[in-house]
Amino acid sequence: MTQYLYGAKVQGIQSYIFETNKLKDIGGASELIESLAGERFAGFFSQVGVSYKEEQLLRNAAGEISYLFHDKASCAAVVRGFERFISTEIPGLTVSQAVVPLEGTTLNLSDASHEVNRLLQVQRNRATPPSELGWMISERARRTGRPGVKQVKKDGLIDRRQQSKREVADHRRLHDKLIGDTHPFEKEDFAFELEDIVNKREGAWLAVVHADGNNLGKLIQKLLPELPADQLEKGYRQFSIKLEEATVAAARIAYQKLLDCLKAEERNAVIAGEMKLPIRPVIIGGDDLTVILRAEHAVAFTKAYLEAFEQETQEKFGNYAKEFGVAEHFKDGLTACAGIAIIKPKFPFHYAAHLAEELCSWTKNVAKKIDEHHTPSSLHFHKVQASFVENYKDIIERELTTVKDDAVDEKLLTAGPYFVNDSQEGYPTVKQLLRYTEVLGYKDTPAGPLRDYLGELRVDAQAAAQKLERIRDLNKDVNKELDLSEETLFQKRGSNEKASTHLYDAIQLANLL
């Protein structure tokens, strides 16, 4: 009997969601992606005359789908119709598809899954014909330049892509995932404007947080060969379900932490439905989390999520590990890393989303050098104060490196990434960073002179040293609390050849409060 492992992957989810700064469009796009992981994919099967079997769905989260077909005809019908379905139902979204046959009675899902992923990567490199072309005489939507389909009071003519997003912008799938039964809420409580998230405060900053699980692909490749042959389908499917449950549970714990960070009056107003929710979920699925929230709470929120993700995966996979005999892989839980892009509300969101992903990848690369198999959970952030976001390595070189002269070597003005585990030896932790930020808020802390010192480091190393010496002489107590001594202010961490300081990062966070 020949079976067929079908894989589909949505391309460019972040660019599709964040192509505009309109929060209503961002929220609608994220709801469309979420609906594809729910009833929309199952409904598509009936459109092409194929019976949908939930037990054959191995994975459907965050734009990644795996489905095991038991006959060729059904598989072929889905492959033929899915791209057209996507272009019609979710215009602007691009999807890749791949199929691998499995021969015989014993399923080798591990090799088949690996081959599907390889083929999907090949498909990503092939140009996809645009599905939103129009006549040259067509009137265009002013924001996008695409053919217009509907007049809207505030924005004038909008295109089909914008229309499809706004039709579902007030759906509550993602908010239900994030908030659960923490407190009652209605669609009217959603933030549809960026100003609603920051509570209409002048000069406020927003944060785009992107978190992603560590080594999940490698884990699946190791896990599948160890599952009992007669339980491969069930084991693969249950893995995806447990991972989704853990991610949702961790997101809800982080949301509760966000509420705890708010002032009492504001927190009560949110719970009572008198104020808009101070966060907009964008992606919560699989091992991915992307949200938009107030920048001053972003680090605390992300720390809570990463801690909860470890704890929840350990708990959720407890019975799973026993049932399938794979306890070795889940004894310490799974880990994740995160990137936080801190921006002004008017900054282009597609740049911010790209930077958040870049920071997440950069953080993972550093953390994997510590332990490749059980990568420690960590996060890093960057406050965008330039007009253009580059590769983060270029940002470090251009913005976060001190001046070099004959007497002083180059140093880094960021000590990231920051690790969730307080006992992470030789590396800074999130707890330490938040403590430094708290001290900088004290009245007797010389925050202004310290900012001047950091600015001087990028211009004149000798003048900066003189400023620091004076700060140390006049602020003995703060000296110790902020670790401003010669031994602690700049340290070499891990394999980095350059010494780095925590001070700049702490000041950037303190300026958000």
What pLDDT, on the 0 to 100 scale, is given for residue 134?
A: 83
Asked whether the predicted pLDDT for residue 105 surpasses 60, the reply is no
For residues 431 and 369, membership in a common domain is answered with no
Query: Which residues are registered as beta bridge partners of 6?
Result: 67, 99
Between CA 364 and CA 372, with CA 368 as vertex, the angle to 5 degrees is 140
Average pLDDT over residues 328-338: 91
Round the average pLDDT of the chain to a whole number and report it. Answer: 91
Report if residue 299 sits inside a domain. yes
Could you report the per-residue pLDDT of 455-490, keeping only the tens digit for each? 999 899 889 999 999 999 988 888 889 999 988 999
Domain boundary among 337, 356, 391: 391
Do 443 and 326 sit in the same domain of this protein?
A: no
Please tell me the predicted confidence (pLDDT) of residue 477.
83
Going across the sheet that includes 94-102, the strands are 57-61, 64-69, 3-11, 94-102
Residue 98 lies in a domain: yes
User: Do 201 and 287 fall into the same domain?
Assistant: yes
| pLDDT over 70 percentage in the chain | 98
- Beta-carbon count within 10 A of 281 CB: 24
The model's confidence at residue 127, banded by pLDDT at 50, 70 and 90, is confident
Q: pLDDT for 400-454, tens place per residue?
A: 999 877 667 899 999 989 999 988 888 999 999 999 999 999 988 999 999 999 9
Q: Is the pLDDT of residue 107 over 70?
A: no
Any domain includes 318: yes
* Distance set, CA 196 to CA 41, 118, 190, 209, 237 (Å): 32, 43, 9, 18, 39
Q: For residues 215-232, give the mean pLDDT.
A: 86
The residue from 363, 391, 419 where one domain ends is 391
Tokens of 29: 């796009």
374-390: average pLDDT: 88
If pLDDT is split at 50, 70 and 90, which confidence band does 198 have? Answer: confident
- In this structure, the chain runs to a length of 513
Which contiguous run of DSSP H or E holds residue 166?
A: helix 160-167
First to last CA, the chain: 63
| For the chain, percent of residues with pLDDT exceeding 90 | 67
237 shares its domain with 376 = yes
**Last-in-domain residue among 358, 391, 424:** 391
* pLDDT score, position 406: 64
Rounded mean pLDDT, 247-258 = 98
pLDDT at 131 over 80: no
Classify residue 372: in a domain, yes or no.
Answer: yes
Please tell me the predicted confidence (pLDDT) of residue 407: 66
Q: In this structure, is residue 138 part of a structural domain? A: no
User: Considering the domain boundaries, does residue 135 fall inside one?
Assistant: no
* Confidence check: pLDDT of 143 > 90: no
- Residue 279, pLDDT > 70, answer yes
Looking at the structure, do residues 319 and 181 belong to the same domain, yes or no?
A: yes
| pLDDT at 476 (0 to 100) | 83
Answer whether residue 136 is part of any domain.
Answer: no
Residue 286 and residue 341 in one domain: yes
In terms of Cα–Cα distance, which of 165, 211, 217 is closest to 33?
Answer: 165
Closest residue by Cα to residue 227 from 313, 327, 310: 327
Task: Summarize the confidence of residues 123-127 as an average pLDDT.
Answer: 83
> Are 262 and 320 in the same domain?
yes
Does 318 lie in the same domain as 188? yes
Residues 257 and 369 in one domain: yes
User: 114 lies in which domain range?
Assistant: 3-124
- 106 vs 136: which has the higher pLDDT: 136
pLDDT tens-digit series, residues 393-412: 999 999 999 987 766 789 99
pLDDT of 183: 94
| Residues sharing a CB contact under 8 Å with residue 397, sequence separation 6 or more, in sequence order | none
- Answer yes or no: is pLDDT of 1 > 80: no
Average pLDDT rounded to a whole number, residues 278-287: 94
Domain match, 410 and 353 both = no
Domain check: are 115 and 207 in the same one?
Answer: no
Residue type, 169: A
Number of domains in the chain: 3
The CATH number of residue 273's host domain is: 3.30.70.270
**What average pLDDT score do residues 21-48 get?**
92
Assigned domain for 141 exists:
no
Per DSSP, the three-state class of 140 is strand
337 and 440 in a single domain? The answer is: no
